[in-house]
């Protein structure tokens, strides 16, 4: 059986959202980040990303990881693209060109959007958005996001989704990165196509099912 390692409050949301969309059976192994455990290496501590049991699966100690009947894979975007190709149907690539486009958009999100978007998310989550330091961090991050968000706006003003006019794993990978910046409304209010696309992705039952499980986890 397919196993996905990692708590919902992590990048594991990407493959966990996809398996909700696919409706395939899987076992969720809620490995938590070591930094969230007071004494991660203490005897009796909850199994976490620093635990020998998990390091035997992923020596990097990062989540998520996946075990699909003995095939072990790490990195959330790679896991999602693999699952889409193997189980995805309409959510997976129809041919090699679509597969390349799914990789392209996923890497675009990871390399051009994720770092500044995460800075916005962490600043807001830390309650620092109204401090001078926080305002500066958000302003700098928003400037860094201008070009990639404009690229997405242009693409989505002509296309309903990332690929071929249908919802695919590429939408999941990109949406879950773009979500980190969602707390800074100005970025989206000036880009209506991007805003509408993200809202439509998050209105899907698969996302809602994943998100409800994320909210049920301790913060």
Q: Return the structure tokens found at 135.
A: 């305002």
Q: Tell me: the pLDDT tens digits for 74-121?
A: 999 999 999 999 999 999 999 999 999 999 999 999 999 999 999 999
d(CA 173, CA 168) in angstroms, rounded, equals: 9
Phi, psi of 163 (to 5 degrees): -140, 130
Query: What pLDDT, on the 0 to 100 scale, is given for residue 16?
Result: 98
Whether 219 shows a pLDDT value over 90: the answer reads no
Pairing mode, strands 2-5 and 65-68 = antiparallel
Which percentage of the chain shows pLDDT scores above 70?
100
pLDDT 10s digits, 27-39: 999 999 999 999 9
- In this predicted structure, what is the pLDDT of residue 106? 98
* Structural domains of the chain ordered from first start: 2-90 (3.40.30.10), 94-207 (1.20.1050.10)
């Amino acid at each position: 059986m397919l196993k996905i390692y990692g708590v919902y409050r992590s990048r594991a949301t990407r493959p966990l959202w996809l398996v909700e969309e696919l409706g395939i059976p899987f076992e969720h192994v809620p490995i938590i980040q070591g930094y969230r455990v007071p004494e991660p290496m203490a005897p009796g501590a909850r199994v976490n990303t620093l635990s020998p049991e998990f390091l035997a699966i992923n020596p990097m100690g990062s989540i998520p990881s996946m075990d699909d009947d003995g095939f072990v894979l790490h990195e959330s975007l790679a896991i999602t693209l693999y699952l889409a190709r193997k189980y995805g149907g309409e959510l997976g690539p129809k041919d090699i060109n679509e597969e390349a486009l799914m990789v392209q958009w996923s890497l675009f999100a990871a390399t051009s959007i994720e770092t500044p978007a995460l800075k916005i998310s962490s600043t807001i989550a830390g309650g620092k958005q109204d401090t001078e330091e926080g305002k500066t961090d958000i302003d700098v991050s928003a400037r860094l996001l201008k070009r990639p968000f404009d690229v997405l706006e242009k693409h989505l003003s002509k296309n309903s989704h990332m690929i071929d006019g249908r919802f695919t794993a590429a939408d999941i990978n990109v949406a879950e990165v773009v979500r980190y910046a969602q707390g800074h409304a100005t970025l989206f209010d000036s880009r209506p196509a991007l805003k509408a696309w993200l809202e439509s992705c998050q209105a899907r039952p698969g996302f809602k099912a994943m998100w409800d499980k994320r909210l049920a986890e301790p913060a």
